[in-house]
Amino acid sequence: MTLRQATRSMRRKTALALCAATLMLGANFGMQPISAHAAAEEDDIGLPNLSGRYLAAIVANRAQDAERASRYFRDVISLDPETPELTHSAFISLLTNGEIPDAAKLAKELMKRENTGWFPRSTLGVVALRKRAYKQAQKYFSEGDQGDQVTRLVSGILNAWSLHGEKKTDLAIETLGQLEGPGWYDLFRSYHNALMLHHVGRNEEARKEMEKALEIDSRSVPMAATYARILSRLGDDKAALDHLRPLYRQAPGNRILGYLVGELEKGRSLKPTVSSAQSGAAEGLYGIGTLLAREGGAEAGSVMLRLALHLDEEHELAIMSMADQLEAVKQYDKANALYAQLDNESVLQPVSVIQTALNLERLEKTDDAIGLLEELIKTEKSNLSAINTLGNLLRSKERYEDAALVYSKGISTIPQLQPGHWSIYYTRGIAYERSKDWPKAEADFRKALDLSPDQPLVLNYLGYSWVDRGENYDEALDMIKKAVEQRPQDGYIVDSLGWVYYKLERFEEAVPHMERAVALKPADPIINDHLGDVYWKVGRKREAMFQWQHARDLKPDEPEVLERVLKKIEHGLDKVELEEAKAGKDDTASN
């Protein structure tokens, strides 16, 4: 069983352990879904009794508002401190909101009862570890029921770092080695063995352990970075660069890889990955917390990330991952507050600025988002991620000419074009096309395909544009077929294939593609409109009317599209096309 498979099988148990009490109690109250807005309103009216405050806590919890949930649960246990389920729910809410000291107080209360569970014990262990109370931490991490495979592994890693904190590195490695579990434990054993050995300067041993880990997972950026740091401390910068450069070529936008490559090329020795037992333990919580969150165990993953940040408030990747979790539940202000914790000298700080701008846009603070990106681009003129983000934001606001100028400035900073630069030509091409400058748009789409010939997005956009303009049907058909082969589940690309058959008057061939496109994107008005046209041409006029009515009800963004749909509903496609043909002749005559 792979690590990914094992995590998928175990994450459900871990997540359920976090939220079962809350869900059970919610069911007992016979609750109906209540909006987050309703929860906010309850702040204003006051909640004098236990049931009212508890209901508000559940509502906030369902709305994934950890801050409000923790506040209400705090009120609940002040009114009823004896019910273990309420205390546990309050404890989890405090953990999820990052209020670790207060969560630890409730964990002590829970520890007085039987069947405490993994999270209260581990929270107290993390608090002790932060205070360098290593023996106390070891007691929490090694005693009692250790839960499932994932939580047993975390306990083992945290226990090992507690021993390492006492300068008992060999015992820490031995203890971690004795941890019984599935084969995928070996990856974490080797990685954390390497980190501990690297931290105390035993770099040759660390190198061997890292090579074991890389045999299992050679694509992990944190592991690749640690291996390069170890090689650097051994004085072998060439080997470190040889290891990092292929990864950096695959991910040229990765700030961590770029920083490490740059430092090594300048002849600078790299610092160890961890600086203390606390930051090493935080690395363990970050790695497994991020994996859990990615595999669907969001609650457990968030708690582990919060504990990681309690141990190491400056853990850059934990900050980024926790902010990502907050964005996933639309807590954009809170995500931005986390991004603000990154040091200005951090290599990830520009990434956090871009993410902050995106969150500001989601909060409908477009001017603030644009201003933030413009300031970043002033200091980092060749930051293509920031340039693309600003251009895309302007394009989403239909400021196409401004967007094209931004993309052009970005292109002017590229010293040597690489295949990965296809995207900026593609996005500038869209901006030109939307601003009615087709020659420039077409040139950019062709340039994008020169750089990366099989990009399905470019093949589709250029092919569809040609079809819409009545040009290059055969070439467009070949392009869109190739795009569909690569992305058969993309409704927009499948629609393009149906539409080119329609334009070629191969209506029967168009039908199955259009029907599939609607099945893939049932809420898209343009695709439904296209299917209506195709049905009309093959004589299925009642079904055509239904599709046009559905397209109307979906409210197309473009007024001219809606106007044409309404005309087809009233008069049918034949009459609309006759009127359009007559209007076209009249325009030609007047010219």
- pLDDT, tens only, 159-183: 999 999 999 999 999 999 998 888 8
Report pLDDT for 148: 81
| Ranges of each domain in the chain | 202-271
**What was the pLDDT predicted at 27?**
27
For residue 87, the model assigns a pLDDT of 72
Phi, then psi, of 130 in degrees rounded to 5 = -60, -35
pLDDT, position 8: 40
Q: Dihedral angle at the C-alpha atoms of 262, 266, 267, 268, nearest 10 degrees? A: -60
- Cα–Cα distance, 454 to 306 (Å, whole number): 42
Parts of the chain with a pLDDT under 70: 1-86, 114-115, 144-147, 584-591
Tens of pLDDT, residues 30-86: 222 223 333 333 443 344 454 455 455 454 555 555 565 555 555 555 544 555 566
φ, ψ for residue 436, nearest 5 deg? 70, 25
Q: For the chain, percent helix, then strand, then coil, each to nearest 5?
A: 75, 0, 25
Contact 369, 361 (CB under 8 A): yes
Torsion of CA 46, 335, 395, 344, to 10 degrees: 140
Q: Which amino acid does the sequence have at 177?
A: G
250 CA to centre of own chain? 19
Residue 531 near residue 547 (C-beta atoms within 8 A):
yes
Long-range contacts of 55-63 (CB under 8 A, 24+ apart): 55/29, 55/31, 57/89, 57/90, 57/93, 58/22, 58/25, 58/26, 58/29, 58/31, 59/34, 60/36, 61/19, 61/22, 61/89, 61/93, 62/26, 62/33, 62/34, 63/35, 63/36, 63/39
Do the beta carbons of residue 150 and residue 7 sit within 8 Å? Answer: yes
| pLDDT at residue number 112 | 79
Is there a contact between 232 and 267 (Cβ–Cβ < 8 Å)?
A: no
Residue with tokens 């990330």: 305
- Cα dist from 155 to 11, 151, 161, 495, whole Å: 16, 6, 10, 51
d(Cα 415, Cα 113) in Å, to the nearest integer?
A: 65
For 389-411, b where at least 16 C-beta lie within 10 A, e where not — what string? Answer: bbbbbbbeeebbebbbebbbebb
CATH assignment, 202-271: 1.25.40.10
Q: How far apart are the first and last CA of the chain?
A: 72
Q: In this predicted structure, what is the pLDDT of residue 70?
A: 57
